[in-house]
Amino acid sequence: MVQHRQLEAFNAVMTSGSTVRAAELLGVTQPAVSRLISELEKGLRFSLFDRVRGRLVPTPEGKLFFREVEASFIGLDRLRTSAANIRDFGTGSLRIASLAATGSVIVPAAVRSFRQSHSRTRITLHVTGSAAIRNGVADGQYDIGIAADEIDISGVDTQLFGNFPGLIAMPADHPLTRCETVTPNLLDGQPLIGLAPEDRARHRFDATLAEEGGAPDYVIETPSSMTVCELSLTGDAVGFVNPLAIRKDRYPGLALRPFEPRVMFRIYMLFPPDSQKSLLVRDFTTEIMRQRNIFSGLL
């Protein structure tokens, strides 16, 4: 039976030209190389070399056999290179889906940082609604999803990404900017820009207003906190927004105030069910949690 070590010895002799050099390449003695070649010839039942004046000269059969051995060793080298690339450089692909709030600042920051150590990884990023993200993760379309808590979490693996206190967005010249915090009574009769009715954070916000005896006066509704910020700049209405969506350089003239009592935006990371996470998924998860911690320190 042909053994891999015998093929290594044969390949080393053919590429180096002698058993002495082959022994140096393999880190063994010259007699050991000669023994491996002899055992290989017995297993093959034909001669690989003729012994001419103390030198090994490949036979025609040996030359033909070397073509196959060389091809197999090239294939093994490619496999080793591929494995090293996967391990060290993150070769592969990563499919990410994010709700708009995290897809505007945190996820792009995580992608930029992640690519510094995984430059050969092909990344696909879709920014879409939470329900579509949940369904895409459950169906295996995405490796990682980041979604708000209004989703049905059955059929996916989840990890809490975080809870983030909502802010009130308004023009810089709005009267409410004189307040350090905005409370429910200050919003009584105030035109509001609301998130979509199915948004769980909006539900919590509305419930908080109701506990104080107020009813929200929504004049505009939109599913995106970024759109709420844009709309808050153009009129008298103010909006309750997810802080993760805010880049101050993108909204010059926008003022933000904490809302008290705090109402949280709860966000989950989603993964395909019952599957082991790849190295890429684990590495990106670590990076985006790091970016979350950086961003949270700025709130």
Q: Does residue 261 have a cis bond before it (omega within 30 degrees)?
A: yes
Range of the domain at 68: 4-88
The reply to whether 130 and 193 lie within a common domain is no
Does residue 193 share a domain with residue 68? no
H helix runs in the chain, sequence order: 4-16, 19-26, 30-44, 60-88, 100-104, 106-117, 130-138, 200-211, 225-232, 279-296
* Residues 178 and 149 both lie in one domain: no
* Token pair belonging to 90: 């993150």
Position 282 scores a pLDDT of 92
| Residue where a domain stops, chosen among 41, 58, 88 | 88
Q: Are 152 and 137 in the same domain?
A: yes
Cα–Cα distance between 232 and 230 in angstroms, integer? Answer: 5
**Same-domain status, 123 and 173:** no
Assign residue 276 the CATH number of its domain.
3.40.190.10
Measured in degrees and rounded to the nearest 5, phi and psi for residue 182 equal -105, 125
Q: Are residues 190 and 255 in the same domain?
A: yes
User: Of 88, 103, 121, which closes a domain?
Assistant: 88
CATH code (residue 216): 3.40.190.290
Q: Quote the pLDDT of residue 86.
A: 58
Distance of alpha carbon 200 from alpha carbon 207, whole angstroms: 11
- Same domain? For 275 and 251 the reply is no
Total domains in the fold of the chain:
3
Question: Residue 279: how many CB atoms within 10 A of its CB?
Answer: 12
80 and 47 assigned to the same domain: yes
Say what the pTM is.
Answer: 0.68
Here the tokens at position 4 are 């891999």
Output the pLDDT for position 248. Answer: 66
* Whether residue 142 sits in one domain with residue 173: no
Could you tell me if 130 and 199 lie in one domain?
A: no
Kindly report the CATH number assigned to the domain that includes residue 56.
Answer: 1.10.10.10
* 10-residue mean pLDDT series, the chain (299 residues): 83 86 88 89 88 83 85 72 58 87 92 91 92 92 93 91 95 93 93 92 94 87 90 89 81 90 95 84 94 78
Domain boundary among 67, 88, 109: 88
- Same domain membership, residue 155 and residue 212: no
Cα torsion 5, 11, 15, 17: sign: positive
Residues 257 and 272 in one domain: no
